Amino acid sequence: MPNAKVLESKKAVVADLSAKIKEATSVVFVDYKGITVAEDAALRKQFRDAGVEYSVVKNTLTRFAAKENGYDFDEVLNGTTAMASTTGDPIAPARIICEYAKKKKLSLTIKGGVVEGSVLTVDQLNGFGELPSKNALVASVLGTFLAPISSLAFVLDQVRIQKEGGAPAESAEA
């Protein structure tokens, strides 16, 4: 039986992992086998820049933490495992992993994860690699809203020019 000090430190790790999983908008488990130290450092920098916490985790302790939050990752938590979690953009961890693995041609693979409380398959998580970031999606939606307003402003300006007796911009060029 492990001594009390070791047991308490493991309980603290499980409690910390459980809190991270509970607070996170997404948690992605990654098999990092075959990645070099330099590649790992570059990946960690991308995660930090995106507000994603990334760390290598012990499978058994992570399994206990996941079960405390109602998740069963027994099939996922084996071999080399790292956990990427965020409280921000929920697709960021999966997107960064997919893009980095594709760009560097690495065997970095997603094992499974949770996004906003739902356990997703590996295929669903890999699909996030195709999506733009949350900020890019918001900009796209705002651009869509702006297009009709811009067209209306152009038409109103043309009406103003005609009423002032000037030729519209299109006929002036012709």
Least confident interval from 8-17, 122-131, 162-171 = 162-171
For residue 42, the 8-state DSSP code is H
Q: Beta 109-115 vs 26-31: how paired, if at all? A: antiparallel
Q: CA-CA distance, 152 to 6, in Å (whole number)? A: 69
Domain ranges of the chain: 4-131, 135-173
How many CA atoms lie less than 13 Å away from 15 in the CB half-sphere?
6
**Residue 132 corresponds to which tokens in the numbers above?**
């733009």
Cβ pair 84, 52 in contact under 8 A: yes
Distance separating alpha carbons of residues 25 and 68, to the nearest angstrom: 17
According to the model, what pLDDT value does residue 136 have?
74
Residue 98 has pLDDT above 80, yes or no: yes
pLDDT of residue 174: 44
Pairing of β 118-120 and β 82-86:
unpaired
CATH class, 4-131 region? alpha beta
Question: What pLDDT does 159 receive?
Answer: 86
